[in-house]
Structure 1
């Protein structure tokens, strides 16, 4: 939500990242948010564009237009196409670059607009045993992960839970890297589709077995998280509360819909993001699912108002869905350097900065006095992560190797610098382990520009494991250049012909830890394989990776947690607030819920001139009745008055009239409502009514001097006709126009 006015009730005032490995891997660094893998990524997907065709062009014709330019349609965005009455298609070309595609299509008479397919990246007193580590929900000044805090620098969650702890009927769509729906603290709060699709159709957004949501990136119905980012976000929104396990979310009870569009590295495209958002809108509008919010802890520099991603977020708003977006992790001003989607000028977007344990703006957080709405806890945040629940060896393992019998179960290879070997230098048990850099450092550090792998040699039959929680587990010692050198954990369903990453490890964690990853149903074949794939750059070499005790077996569910930083972590606090408000006040709409959140902030000097509200989320203020009044800012230029003027607070749902009076010799020249010109009836309007008031507004009147009267035979002067001296016909005309304006305002809410 951009350029908003807000109301701070006196009564209420009184009361980024990218995970590249999982839990105990030493990735956390105080007040530093991951911005990506550390290497430069393209801003859009080459050879792809998103096209809006004109209203008189049918979908079939649009496909023919694409074919004539050596392009092909690979996806139609159904929600946008139906809402706008014109085809929206994702086009690909194997011969043309993106810029060539844009140049050709911009000159086609059937095309209204064309955009690159931009790439986006990833930027909770219950009895849960780690609740005392959740400073963002309840800050007593405690020390968390070695960092001390400030009393009450939190969102007042315990006070709020006396009023509401959430509802399973309220659904939040986490559009991200997916969600580990087997996690012990999330499984009970996952949204479950009562009627999953039975076949796949990418053009129609149908995905087989979309039980918990969809995977737009892979075109499947399995949104299992292969990165960790989306699972961490989901824990903050709605980890099950009061279950005696791990943590709790802002909501103890909720419905989490998993919509995956970001890959294992934390990158994704606008086309896949649009598909996820359309899925959430479709579930709400056509299937009766009460989706109230979408969490978007990702973004990028490419984009503009009115592009396809903007339009689908607008469609979500029209469906009653609030879009909560992370402001970004570059410590930059979004007013001058936009970060999309947080910077889109849409009334259903809440843009969120990150605060730390001492109520300061986090050092990495983006900000913007006109474009970032508020702050929320986003540093040193403990939440859920995929993995765990399986420690090899275990009874019933389908595969296990402790490396004590040599390398017969394995093969190595790659494009460059393959140095994998079994070593006795380091092992977990008892004597041997695999390593990419066998031997003591520094002479036996891994090599620059390595692209090599350690692969299980024989197929493992997982074809009879449907319905079981099967995981790949192993022990690892990791010493890699953080963010630049990575060990990818990859799976194959076809004996090694193709591979897909489910996780990546990086950074310094030079002690033995156990890792365990859920094997998605798509890989449960008779030709299952896995491998460890090392990729390094050309600088800064370390001791590398050691792997021991590798197994495939049955898990008891994920049970991992870890800390991280980023506006990615602050956004889900606000998303959780939207869900909690929706459970408490189910009849209130988008504007009311946003008004509660923004009006209820705790004012902070650290956020003054850094955010629109100058404050940090306070959940208790937001949920406490009554609904805060809305603010209408009324102003008039010289030559007349508007009454009332200045900051006018109006109770929600009531009408408010503003009277406009030109001075003698002046007439009304223009009237702007929320920045949009209103028909003044040639200066005859005498008042303007907002009915009913269900949002913040601005109204600005400007005046001009009447033209001098033309001189005549007797030299007499004319008298300017002011807006109060209008004839009956003019008044009737004004009345009709006013009714039309009011109807339009009511339609827009």
Structure 2
């Protein structure tokens, strides 16, 4: 803000309580007439959009007037299934699916079908899909691996050492990497569930990989480790990620389930491109339109810019009741809106069957479509008014 920014794009957000410092930053931007465009958010763990009016997401749910919150729509201008929404908190929609974008580095996911698996007993790891339940009760199937193979109806074996692992190869070799996955389940105190990583394609638990334990020793629930897994070893271009369940004879439990595993990287000199989905993709489109309007009419106030964007978009039924405007943004319409000027004209009495010119002074448009209507529809229906609309002047 202090360096002259007029538009700030925030393709970020999260739940929780209102952060006063964050809110103060938005207010400071407002005092400098800076417009802040923010993402509505990308739904719950199952990928289904949630109502921000009921479950606040910040900065979208901040209420400052210089803020525009953006939902994502698909190619049919329908609200994307993953996009958050809110009749009072989310303002407009913008394209946010299948957006071709540069990426910092390659990203890989897995369905776990090609993973190596070993077991010292007859049970071990299985793979398939699991149904996750969204906040609205709908279910979505995602790839997963679990131990035991009948996870949910059975329990894992005692006195077993079950391992599963797979290697991931990147070209060019990345400088940074991050691993994310969904973990659920429980194990008995005295048993161990470990995640490990090592360079090259090998069993990380036998080859000296770095292991991290996931266990709440009080409840037995599986939890994030206390330190970060050193996936920077993937900078060797090929690395192996693995999971291990090691148990004793004292008992058994539900076991671990892992789903939605993704390995993201950052690489130098990469020309990686990808099709991305998200409200983070939709938000920059609105930021770009905002900058376009400011450049087109520098004297316009932030309120005028925002009003032009929110009222000139294309109506979208799936955004009605889900956003404050019910519209998908339109750059051309917003430009026309911010530059349009119409001088008032007095009422004119016309004689039926007699041609008469009615000048309408309009500025800010290169093309004009003019509709004439009659106040006396009983005598002269609207359909009876015919004529030609023309533009004169520069």
State the TM-score, normalizing by the size of structure 2. Answer: 0.49
Calculate the TM-score normalised by the size of structure 1: 0.27
- Relative contact order, CA 8 A, sep 6+: which one is greater? 2
